[in-house]
Amino acid sequence: MIYLDYSATTPVDKRVLDTFNKVCLDYPGNSNSLHSLGIKSKELEDYITNKISDILKVKPTEIIYTSSSSEANNTAIKGICFKYKNRGKHIITTSLEHSSVIAPLNYLTKHGFEVDFVNLKSDGTVDLDHLKSLIRDDTILVSISYVDSELGIVQPIEEIAKIVKKNPKTFLHVDCTQAVGKINVDFKNIDLASVSAHKIYGLKGVALLIKKENIVIEPLIHGGKSTTVYRAGTPAIALYASIMKALELIIPNIDKNIEYISKLNKKIINKLEKYDNVFINSTNKSVCNTINFSLIGIKPETFIHALDAHQIYVSTKSACSSAESMSNSVYAIYKDKNRASNTIRVSLSYLTTEEEIDEFLKVFDECYNKLMLKRGNNENN
């Protein structure tokens, strides 16, 4: 098996799973209970939160545990907009955002909010001059992903933050789901940020919303006492421990992993560029983990199934995107519907071996030639 879909989800690190299992067995008490088992769980909960705050360099009071980045994104966007709607109802975002950002924004338009999309430059990064021109007195929120899930484009968040901060009424939300673990992320100038465990070799079902402590938001989930007033639910201590462990393992190795994965990235792109019907969509601003390309003349689903038959696993777009739709991200940059309708994403990891890449390129060549020949025969008949 050759797995090349790490941007969709990563395999669980055994050390993370061991941590989860140990906490499940050794800490049965509800951390909100007053008996000794509850106190023991509360002490571990506080340790975990403090450890995560040290790793990410944020305050413990700024950490909100959620079930997913989708929940974190929804909580941040709806929470800000409903809490501060008296300040204004104007929102700015990009065409590269994940569906868990676009969907709540579409929902908010039904409640009187207005959404503008900032222009992108040819490399996929935000046009900062256009962003400046879009910000108004009633702009309440700017929501921009640090690294998008399809093309892996890294946005200049520090420069974006400086622009946003010029309007004291405007908050900056950054979806860091595809960034944490791949690049070094500084949360200092970000008001709200989303982080997920299953993108960094952790478990599905746990994520974080980092929220500056001076910001108040309207909760998405109301209920009883939990780890924070902003998200009700029984504290899932074992899951919190698992994301702590995942962060502890991945963050110190980012630079080393970038150096290794960059070599694999170059090897793949150098090979793919030689095919007449392959167009590389990733830009020089994309993370090395993500290679997005369009394969013209062969349906992406057909090619993916051909690779699947060899136990090689890639994807078309973000795993949360509609299978039938074209890539909005690719179209936003290249304005080519054909190119945007035929995208394939290969996503790499420090776990990916050079031997796996050699085999992938070999099988890619076989499938490409076979399917192109079949296409030519069909056209001639």
Contact 288, 265 (CB under 8 A): yes
- 320 carries an active-site annotation: yes
323 burial class (0-12, 13-18, 19+ CB within 10 angstroms)? Answer: exposed
Q: What is the DSSP letter of 292?
A: E
First to last CA, the chain: 37
Separation of alpha carbons 26 and 48, rounded Å:
15
Q: Distance between CA 188 and CA 50 in Å, rounded?
A: 17
Decide if 118 contacts 131 (C-beta within 8 A). yes
Q: Which of 184, 152, 176, 97 is nearest to 290 (CA)?
A: 152
User: Under a CB-based contact definition with an 8 Å cutoff, are residues 93 and 122 in contact?
Assistant: no
- Selecting among 24, 81, 320, 367, the annotated active-site residue is 320
Q: Residue with structure tokens 């070999």?
A: 362
Active site residues: 320
